Amino acid sequence: MNLTPLENWIMQKAGLKERAKKALEAYQLKKIRETIAYVKGNSTFYSKQLKNVREESIYSLEGFRDIPFTFPQDISRNSLGFLCVPQRQVARIVTLNTSGTSGEEKRLFFTEEDLGLTIDFFKHGMGCLVDKTDKVLVLLPGSAYGSIGDLLKKALELSGIECIVHGVLTDPEGAVKCIEERGITCIVGIPSQVLYLSRVKSDVFVRNIKKVLLSTDYVPDVLIDELSQKYDCKVFGHYGLTEMGYGGGVECEALCGYHMREGDMYFEIIDPATGKTVEKDQYGEVVFTTLTRQAMPLIRYRTGDIASFSSTVCACGTLLNTMKKVLGRIDNRVRLGESRFLYLRELDETILSFEEILDYKAYMEDKDRLVLKMTTKDDAVFERVKGRVMRNIRNLLSNQSVRRYSVEVVSETGHKPAEIINSMVKRKIVDCREER
């Protein structure tokens, strides 16, 4: 098992000659102090938020955990308050909607140097799964300068690896044509879209695709198992948010969790209720602090994502933290009764276990009605699978809730994957009860 290429890259970045966890942590602590001093002097938000914090008094990473959190709504309310450089130095602005469909917008700023940091991470991170014998198809936005596809293409070009940025999947036929004509061996894409393509165009996966990198949303276990067992693909996971500059961590060939971008960020897992750090193997909310960002550094930013650090050393032998697969967002759920929640990941694992289903949408209607709009190849397939899906979903609900909920399954046969405006928008259960 080869050591993840991220480790040597991070050690070089940190200027460390000693391969030791304590040396890396000392570097992170030094960069945290520098970042706090930088934002206090350049960000109007942090000059107020951290006015009582003296960076020289932070003697340990444990002490840093007393620093106030930054929340997404802080950025929504005042994005410019985070900006630490003159606006003329901003090379890329990304506008995100806080809820994915409605709500306040967040604006995120990046300098040319910030974009270069992401390219550098992508270059070494992609070394975990591809080499010069591979050709990569990116099913993510890439037409805009500094977009995730644009940065990934530039990173792969630095490694001499051919990369075609196809964009989000709206035309499966066109994607298949590109795969066949260009000899694509690896796909990078959104889990739900890769699933759709593999189920409508399975032959091309059998013939061409050897590796898949899934990113931007929860990755269902059923999808990993299907791609691995049915098509003999190696399925890698990537974790990143736009707020991170897209890149946060990537799996090595051991496929047992993400190794984190620890030269550019410091990561924590906290109890979302108390804000206290949790033990390894305990799930909580991912929090990160940027260490090298110019335009818009973030201090203890709460992501809303659920994950845990593994207490087991990865088979590759790295000293880097290994984060277990992210389970989705804390708020990607709907309430059932007084104390029970239904999470999107539960629906994913249940519904997508049926290979006849290409896609679905979920809605909570009225007080106790769950509506599923399923996409299948044709009406006959829908009718054949409809009853089995309803039974499995009813079992899921009845096993975990005292109240009886009705399940309605309707067809969206003929539906094609809708274009995603921003690759970081997450799928969700739409709670129509809250919108009335």
CA distance 414 to 408: 19
Q: Which of 329, 346, 379 is the last residue of a domain?
A: 329
pLDDT digit string (tens) for 224-266? 999 999 999 999 999 999 999 999 999 999 999 999 999 999 9
- Are 272 and 393 part of one and the same domain? no
Burial class (CB in 10 A: 0-12, 13-18, 19+), 284: buried
Token pair 């009225």: residue? 366
Do 397 and 387 meet the contact criterion of CB atoms below 8 Å apart? no
Q: Is 276 left (phi over 0), alpha (psi -120 to 50) or beta?
A: beta
436 has a pLDDT exceeding 70? no
Condensed to tens digits (0 to 9), the pLDDT of residues 79-103 reads 999 999 999 999 999 998 754 434 5
How far is the C-alpha of 407 from the C-alpha of 365, rounded, in Å? Answer: 10
Q: Which amino acid is at 295?
A: A
- In contact, 141 and 128? CB cutoff 8 Å: no
Q: Is 349 found in the same domain as 215? A: no
- What's the confidence (pLDDT) of residue 399? 61
Tell me the H-state helices in 5-111. 5-13, 21-42, 44-49, 61-64, 72-77
Look at strands 284-290 and 234-239 and give their pairing: unpaired
Token pair for 156: 């792969």
* Mean pLDDT value of segment 372-399: 90
Number of domain units in the chain: 2
Q: What pLDDT digit, counting tens, does each position of 143-182 carry?
A: 999 999 999 999 999 999 999 999 999 899 999 999 999 9
Which is nearest to 344 in space by CA: 220, 176, 208? 220
Return d(Cα 82, Cα 45) in angstroms, integer.
6
**What predicted TM-score, i.e. pTM, was given to this entire model?**
0.93
Same domain (yes/no): 324, 341: no
DSSP 121-156: HHHHHHTTT--TT-EEEEES--SSTT-HHHHHHHHH
- Identify the pLDDT of residue 407: 86
Residue at a domain's end among 329, 352, 374: 329
Q: Are residues 228 and 265 in the same domain?
A: yes
Q: Please state, for a pLDDT cut of 70, what percent of the chain lies above it.
A: 93
Containing H/E element for 91?
A: strand 90-97
Considering the domain architecture, whether residues 323 and 344 belong to the same structural domain is answered as no
Q: Is 78 helix (H, G, I), strand (E, B) or coil?
A: coil
φ, ψ for residue 181, nearest 5 deg: -75, -35
Structure tokens that stand for 241 in this block: 């948010």
Q: What pLDDT shows up at residue 335?
A: 85
Query: What confidence tens digit (pLDDT) does each residue in 22-79 have?
Result: 999 999 999 999 999 999 999 999 999 999 999 888 999 999 999 999 999 999 999 9
Residues 314 and 377 in one domain: no
Kindly report the length of the chain: 436
E-assigned strands of 223-345? Answer: 234-239, 249-251, 258-260, 265-270, 284-290, 301-307, 322-323, 333-336, 340-343
Residues 176 and 262 in one domain: yes
Please tell me whether residues 66 and 4 are part of one structural domain.
Answer: yes
Whether residue 425 is predicted with pLDDT greater than 70 in this model: the reply is no
Q: Which two tokens stand for residue 157?
A: 């070009």
* C-alpha–C-alpha distance, residues 242 and 256, integer Å: 24
Q: pLDDT tens digits for 318-361?
A: 999 999 999 988 988 888 877 788 899 999 999 999 999 999 99
CA-to-CA distance for 353 and 221, rounded, in angstroms?
A: 9
113 and 236 in a common domain: yes
| The predicted structure's pLDDT at residue 421 | 37
Are residues 104 and 251 located together in one domain of the fold? yes
Spell out the residues 6+ positions from residue 131 whose beta carbon is closer than 8 angstroms to its own.
159, 161
Q: Does residue 389 carry a pLDDT above 80?
A: yes
Q: What was the pLDDT predicted at 391?
A: 92
Which CATH number fits the domain that encloses residue 218?
3.40.50.12780
- CATH no. for residue 426? 3.30.300.30
Strand 340-343, strand 284-290: pairing: unpaired
**pLDDT score of 423:** 39
Q: What are 278-312's pLDDT values in tens digits?
A: 999 999 999 999 999 999 999 999 999 999 999 99
Q: Which of residues 262, 297, 329 is at a domain's end? A: 329
Residues 214 and 285 in one domain: yes
Instruction: Tell me: pLDDT of 376 over 70.
Output: yes
Pair 315, 360 in one domain:
no
Range of the domain at 387: 333-435
Of 104 and 172, more confident: 172
**Helix H or strand E segment including 349:** helix 344-351
- The confidence score (pLDDT) of residue 422 equals 39
Residue 237, both tokens: 């996971």
pLDDT of residue 416: 59
CA separation for the pair 144, 356 (Å, rounded): 35
Rg (CA), the chain: 22
Across all residues in the chain, what is the average pLDDT?
A: 91
